[in-house]
Amino acid sequence: MLNVSDNELLTRTGPGTPMGELFRRFWHPVLLAEELSEPDGTPVRLRVLSEDLVAFRDTDGKVGIIDALCPHRRAGMFFGRNEECGLRCVYHGWKFDVHGRCVDMPTEPLDSTFKDKVTIKAYPTAEYGGCIWIYMGPPEKQPALPDLEWARVPDSQRVLSRWLQECNYMQAVEGEIDSAHVSWLHAPLQVEASPFRGRFNDAIIRDGAPQITVKPTDYGFCYGARRDADNGEYYWRVTQWLLPTFSLIPAHGFPRGGRCWIPIDDTHISVIQYNYHPERPLTEAEVQRGKNSPQIQPARYRLPDGVTIDICRDVLNADNDYLIDRELQRTQNFTGIQVIRTQDTAMTESMGGIVDRTQEHLGTTDVAVIAARRRLLKMARDLEDGVEPVEALRPEIYNVRAVDMVCTEGDFSHFMDLYAEEAVGKI
Ligand code: FES
Ligand SMILES: [Fe+2]
């Protein structure tokens, strides 16, 4: 459990909060490049770390992410005209470029210099790995982009999807580094016959109490979940957690990947899921699976405070109880929810916007969850004391892989010594 103040510290990422300041030292992927594919196309509304923003691609193909509201009298820039290398507010015609400079102010006299004094908030952006990234921290602290293998492969070897989740980022991160739930939440019933069996390993189904060991690393940590397999062997799943919110999930072979969980605000997340193959283009079937279609659909989403953002939403969501089917739950799978990803969403959203961690009772399989909280809390406190997060400044440490393997080695540190090469990215 956490006390009230640590839970607040962990979960609040708005401007001026300690965790918000920490997050602002990292680059974050906030949109898929395909969401802003056209020069001079339709802008996209987003909220990142509780700041309302608008993204647009200008005539030259450059991406700007600027304040959602015009600095003149605060009209919505989303409704602007995206034309001739700038976004022009349609209320009185003020126009801004991707750097936030006011490049036209037609309501002022021709000889006025007022335009040179007005800017709109604009953040540095980058296109990388099929995503639009944003850096929202102090300019002098801006790091290089992280060396993530999924982002470095050619576009044809990667598939991405992005959707909304309605809870605090940390609930989702904690679900991602919790190998024990896989044997329960995602379990098929009637093991051999079930269509929900999918890629489930027998050991996952049989051993629902994995032994978990955390190994802190420069980029976050990896942890090994060891389950008993046949013939005295062990089934190891090594999950990677990369600061601040990236995961790499083990699976047998490629394509595989993970997710990152970017706070929209303290009770909503923009999730980006990446699947990739390091050696070959993905097949059409792999692309369709990775896009989560047809469950993930484009939506205009009105946040509780009335601000609208543009983001895909799962058609199985809290409004319809994720279409839980009790007959399916009796006969086919553990949850009665059809889609594995949605099973995770249902659990983390069911905790509420920000879970009250003073009420929880953590068990032996929660060691990775505890380690992640401690690491983030320490980093946020360190930054308050003037200690910068070195994790953000070393892009090369992010080139790692999850590991999925059956072998006779039962000790995690020996296992990681033996199979160190398996945990390194090759791109
Ligand atoms: S409010 Fe945007 S130009 Fe006046
Ligand atoms: Fe899961």
Band of pLDDT at residue 142, cut at 50, 70 and 90: very high
Mean pLDDT lowest among 110-119, 148-157, 191-200, 329-338 = 191-200
Backbone angles phi, psi at 199, to 5 degrees: -95, 20
Question: In whole angstroms, what is the distance from residue 286 CA to residue 340 CA?
Answer: 16
> What is the CA angle 210-214-220, rounded to 5?
135
Considering only CA atoms, which residue is closest to atom 3 of ligand 1? 92
Burial 323-360 (b: 16+ CB within 10 A, else e): ebbeebeeebbbbbbbbbbbbbbbbbbebeebbebeee
Expressed in angstroms and rounded, the spacing between residue 40 Cα and the centre of ligand 1 is 19
Please give the structure tokens belonging to residue 289. 């699976």
Band of pLDDT at residue 427, cut at 50, 70 and 90: confident
Band of pLDDT at residue 27, cut at 50, 70 and 90: very high
> What's the confidence (pLDDT) of residue 32?
98
Please give the structure tokens belonging to residue 206. 């049989």
Helix (H, G, I), strand (E, B) or coil at 35: helix
pTM over 0.85: yes
Cα distance from N-terminal residue to C-terminal residue, the chain: 39
Averaged pLDDT for residues 157-176: 97
Within 6 A (CB) of ligand 1 lie 70, 72-73, 75, 89, 91-94
Mean pLDDT lowest among 122-126, 189-193, 288-292 = 189-193
Chain centre to alpha carbon of residue 366: 21
Expressed in angstroms and rounded, the spacing between residue 93 Cα and the centre of ligand 2 is 48
Averaged pLDDT for residues 269-273: 98
User: Is pLDDT at 198 greater than 60 in this prediction?
Assistant: no
User: Is pLDDT at 254 greater than 80 in this prediction?
Assistant: yes
Looking at the chain, the number of H-run helices and the number of E-run strands are 11, 21
Averaged pLDDT for residues 228-252: 92
User: Is pLDDT at 195 greater than 70 in this prediction?
Assistant: no
Cα 250 to Cα 2, 122, 158, 213, distances in angstroms: 28, 37, 17, 15
Tell me the pLDDT tens digit for each residue of 302-322: 999 999 999 999 999 999 999
> What's the confidence (pLDDT) of residue 179?
84
User: Is pLDDT at 180 greater than 90 in this prediction?
Assistant: no
Of 67, 73, 96, 119, which is best to mutate to test ligand 1, by the most ligand atoms within 8 angstroms of its C-beta? 73
Which ligand minimizes its atom distance to the CA of 75?
1
> What's the confidence (pLDDT) of residue 107?
97
User: Is pLDDT at 262 greater than 80 in this prediction?
Assistant: yes
Band of pLDDT at residue 200, cut at 50, 70 and 90: low
Expressed in angstroms and rounded, the spacing between residue 344 Cα and the centre of ligand 2 is 5
Considering only CA atoms, which residue is closest to atom 4 of ligand 1? 92
Mean pLDDT lowest among 78-92, 101-115, 185-199, 396-410 = 185-199
**Ligand 1 atom closest to 94 (CA):** 3
> What's the confidence (pLDDT) of residue 386?
98
> What's the confidence (pLDDT) of residue 193?
56
Greater confidence (197 vs 170) lies with 170
List beta partners, residue 64.
Answer: 56
Nearest to 263 by CA among 29, 18, 7, 54: 29
